[in-house]
Structure 1
Amino acid sequence: MDLASRTDDLGRQAHSSDWLDHAVRAGLVAYGVVHLLIAWLALQLAFGEREGSASSSGALQQLAEQPFGKVLVWLIALGMLLLVVWRLLEAALGHRDEDGSTRVRKRVTSAGKAVLYGAIGVSAVRVATGSGSSGGGKKSGTDSTTAKLMDLPGGQVIVVLVGLAIIGYGGYLIVKAWTEKFAKELDAQGKSGDSGSAYLLFGKVGYVAKGVAIGIVGSLFVYAGVTHEADKSGGLDQALREVLDQPFGPVLLGAIAIGIGCYGLFSFARARHLSR
Structure 2
Amino acid sequence: MRSIEDRSSGTSGDDGSSGDSIADAAKTVEEQPAFQAVARGGFLMGGLVHVLIGWMAVRLALGDSGGSADQNGAMAMIAQAPGGRLLLWVGGLVMAILALWFLLRTWFAARRGHEVKAAVVDALRWSGPAAVYAGLSGMVLRFAAGGGSSSSAQTQSATAGLMGSGPGRALVLLAGAVVIGIGIGFVVVGVTRRFLRQLERSGALSVGAALRITGIVGYIAKGLALAAVGALLGWAAISADPDRASGLDGALTTMAGLPAGVAMLLVIGVGLILFGIHSGLRSRYQEM
Q: State if a TM-score over 0.5 links the two structures.
A: yes
Question: Across the two proteins, how many residue pairs are aligned to each other?
Answer: 271
Tell me how far apart the structure 2 counterparts of residues 99 and 29 of structure 1 sit (CA, whole Å): 35
Q: Is the aligned partner of 1:77 residue 2:92?
A: yes
Q: Is the aligned partner of 1:39 residue 2:44?
A: no
Q: 1:57, 1:120 within 8 Å by CA — same for their partners in 2?
A: no
Q: Is the aligned partner of 1:7 residue 2:46?
A: no
Tell me how far apart the structure 2 counterparts of residues 144 and 105 of structure 1 sit (CA, whole Å): 34
Tell me how far apart the structure 1 counterparts of residues 132 and 244 of structure 2 sit (CA, whole Å): 22
Partner of 1:234: 246
Instruction: Report the more deviating stretch, 228-237 or 143-152.
Output: 143-152
How far has the Cα of 1:132 moved from its partner? Answer: 2.2
Q: 2:45, 2:95 within 8 Å by CA — same for their partners in 1?
A: yes
Partner of 1:172: 185
Identity %: 32
Tell me how far apart the structure 2 counterparts of residues 150 and 5 of structure 1 sit (CA, whole Å): 48
Q: What is the one-letter code of the residue matched to 2:257?
A: D
**Which of 280, 283, 287 in structure 2 is aligned with 1:268?**
280
Q: Deviations over 1:225-246 (max 9, x none)?
A: 1111122111111111121011
Q: What is the one-letter code of the residue matched to 1:10?
A: A
**Which of 81, 85, 100 in structure 1 is aligned with 2:116?**
100
How far has the Cα of 1:157 moved from its partner? Answer: 1.4
Q: What is the one-letter code of the residue matched to 2:283?
A: A
Partner of 1:212: 224
What's the secondary structure of 1:238's corresponding residue?
A: helix
Instruction: Report the more deviating stretch, 181-190 or 260-269.
Output: 181-190
Structure 2 gaps of 5+ residues are: 1-13
Q: 2:39, 2:95 within 8 Å by CA — same for their partners in 1?
A: no
Q: Deviations over 1:9-29 (max 9, x none)?
A: 212333344334212211111
Partner of 2:36: 21
CA gap of 1:208–1:98, structure 2 versus 1, over 3 A, is farther
**Which of 174, 196, 218 in structure 2 is aligned with 1:161?**
174
What's the secondary structure of 2:161's corresponding residue?
A: helix
So what's the TM-score if we normalise by structure 2? Answer: 0.87
Q: 1:11, 1:93 within 8 Å by CA — same for their partners in 2?
A: no
Partner of 2:145: 129
CA gap of 1:151–1:112, structure 2 versus 1, over 3 A, is farther
Q: 1:30, 1:75 within 8 Å by CA — same for their partners in 2?
A: no
Q: Deviations over 1:201-227 (max 9, x none)?
A: 010000000000011111111111111
Q: 1:27, 1:80 within 8 Å by CA — same for their partners in 2?
A: yes
Structure of greater Rg: 2
Tell me how far apart the structure 2 counterparts of residues 41 and 123 of structure 1 sit (CA, whole Å): 18
Q: What is the one-letter code of the residue matched to 1:26?
A: G
CA gap of 1:97–1:23, structure 2 versus 1, over 3 A, is farther
Q: What is the one-letter code of the residue matched to 1:123?
A: M
